[in-house]
């Protein structure tokens, strides 16, 4: 495993629509391992392949919230698609590893249903709620060349250490 460089705006890969994965072979396995290591090193709670300059539809998410009773979970999802958004939305503050020093408030669906594949090509069907649903929406946006600043109702420039205190994705 290796930590890869995280690209930042205005790198063009962040604006490209990423390609679906067709081959679940060793190259994908290496990519996913490296993305997990890169996310942890950042540190962050989510990462999309375009953020390591690979224009493919792969995301990783790692999250836990002991206070809210959410156990540690690590997701690697290939070709994720949001098949259902709750009508209920929520505004929350986001930061992005590819947009240093900026945070913003984004309205997102409170719950989403995501279909996709695990790293071995087995179908996944996830029902996600709250903060983890937000992370998935942010990461899947990355696969479509969309950044949270496109959706934010308010953005703010902050010192890097303040931005780092937020869970970045």
Task: By CB under 5 A, name the one of 96, 109, 135, 163 that touches Ni ion.
Answer: 96
SS3 percent helix, strand, coil of the chain, rounded to 5, is 30, 40, 35
Round to whole Å and give the CA distance between 39 and 32. 10
Closest separation between CB of residue 131 and Ni ion, Å?
14
Q: Considering only 53-61, 71-79, 91-99, 156-164, which stretch makes contact with Ni ion by CB under 5 A?
A: 91-99
Measured at CB, which residue is nearest to Ni ion? Answer: 96
Cβ closest to Ni ion, residue 9 vs residue 124: 9
Return the residue matching tokens 């979970």.
73
- Stretches 29-37, 94-102, 117-125, 152-160: which one binds Ni ion (CB under 5 A)? 94-102
Interior/surface letters 32-53, b for 16+ CB within 10 angstroms, e for the rest: bebbbbbbbebebbbbbbbbbe
CB count in 10 Å sphere of residue 161? 8
Provide, rounded to whole angstroms, the least separation between the CB of residue 24 and Ni ion: 24
Least distance in angstroms from the C-beta of 23 to Ni ion: 25
Binding to Ni ion by residue 169, rule CB under 5 A? yes
The question of whether 139 is a catalytic residue gets the answer yes
Spell out the long-range contacts of 64-67 with Cβ–Cβ below 8 A and sequence spacing 24 or more. 65/131
Active-site choice (64, 139, 156, 161): 139
Residues forming the site for Ni ion (CB under 5 A):
96, 169
Catalytic residues: 139
């Amino acid at each position: 495993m290796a930590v890869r460089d995280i690209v930042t705006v205005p790198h063009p890969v962040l604006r490209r629509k990423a390609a679906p994965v067709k081959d679940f072979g060793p190259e994908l396995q290496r990519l996913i391992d490296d993305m997990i290591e890169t996310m942890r090193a950042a540190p962050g709670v989510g990462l999309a392949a375009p953020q390591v300059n690979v224009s493919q539809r792969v995301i990783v998410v790692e999250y836990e919230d002991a206070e809210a009773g959410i156990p540690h979970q690590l997701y690697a999802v290939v070709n994720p698609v949001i098949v259902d958004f709750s009508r209920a939305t929520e505004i929350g503050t986001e930061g992005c590893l590819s947009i240093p020093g900026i945070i913003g408030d984004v309205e997102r669906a409170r719950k989403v249903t995501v279909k996709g594949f695990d790293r071995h090509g087995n179908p996944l069907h996830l029902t996600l709620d709250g903060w983890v649903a937000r992370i998935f929406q942010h990461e899947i946006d990355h696969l479509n060349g969309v950044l949270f600043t496109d959706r934010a109702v308010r953005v703010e420039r902050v010192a890097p250490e303040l931005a780092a205190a937020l869970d970045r994705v």
